[in-house]
Amino acid sequence: MSENTWAGVRERVLRLAGHPGAERIFGARGHGFRLGPVMGEEQVRALEADLGTGLPAQYRSFLLQVGAGGAGPDYGLMTPVMGDGGWQWLGVGLAFPAQPTAAGFAGRPFVAEALRSELAAVEAREPAPDAFATDEEFSLAYAAWEARYEELYDAQEAGAVFLSEQGCGYASLLVMTGPHRGTIWEDLRPMDRGIEPTGHDFARWYRRWLERTERQLET
């Protein structure tokens, strides 16, 4: 990663707030082109201690040079915050935040890709009422099936941070662990898909948003 990846980015983002038509950019009413303060090195290290691993390099340098959260793709970036239960990502200053993520959960192994086939197999085994002699037997079997499905469904989120809300239940996630560390994935489960890769790392994802927004506003 170039040392100049984030040079001038904070200033470019903040300038967009005063540009005519800025309020018409998708997501602007969620973040208002505001950025939170940058984090200090000690704060980042404390966050990494709770995470149990180092932050992806591009995201780490973003926190130190651009801001802890705020303006960004879709409805804006969640912010790492220290609370009573430890560090977590919250929607500070966002009108439409993504779901919170605890640092301990984000530090677990990222297994969304590995779970795809297992989830598909569980879906295929959904109990049918006519396969059981009584309603009670069906209810017990369905409850067990549903519990297993929900366990696997929720497990897809481990090892990543819900970083930005897209709307209608869709979200962008930043992977924190494993071979996909530092890449952006999308939660497409509302359309009966899964958590899937975008093909972009964090820096490319964020800078593409900024450059696209600048073109739309012809800055």
Burial 84-98 (b: 16+ CB within 10 A, else e): eeebbbbbbbbebbb
The 10 Å Cβ neighbour count of residue 146 is: 13
Domain count, the chain: 1
* pLDDT at residue 21, as a whole number: 92
Q: Is residue 142 situated within a structural domain?
A: no
State both tokens at 31. 């973040």
10-residue mean pLDDT profile of the chain (219 residues): values are 83 95 95 98 98 98 98 98 95 98 97 88 94 96 94 93 97 97 96 92 98 92
Domain enclosing residue 166, as ranges: 9-111+156-217
pLDDT score, position 1: 47
Q: What's the rounded Cα separation, in Å, for the pair 214 and 69? A: 19
- Spatial neighbors of 91 by CB under 8 A, at least 6 apart, are 76, 78, 79, 97, 98, 100, 165
**Residue 12: enclosing H or E segment and its boundaries?**
helix 9-16
In a domain, 99, yes or no: yes
Residue 126 lies in a domain: no
Give me the count of residues in the chain. 219
In a domain, 86, yes or no: yes
State the Cα angle at 102 between 99 and 105, rounded to 5°: 110
Beta bridge partners of 170: 167
Phi, psi of 137 (to 5 degrees): -60, -40
Is residue 124 in a domain? no
25 located within any domain: yes
Rounded to whole angstroms, how far apart are CA atoms 78 and 80?
7
> pLDDT tens digit string along 179-199?
999 999 999 999 988 899 999
Q: What CATH number does the domain containing 13 carry?
A: 3.40.1580.10
Q: Has residue 210 been placed in a domain?
A: yes
Which residues is 87 bridged to in the sheet? 82
Alpha carbon dihedral 48, 50, 52, 57, in 10-degree steps, equals: -20
Residue 79 one-letter amino acid: T
Q: Is residue 87 part of a domain?
A: yes
Predicted local confidence at residue 114, as pLDDT:
87
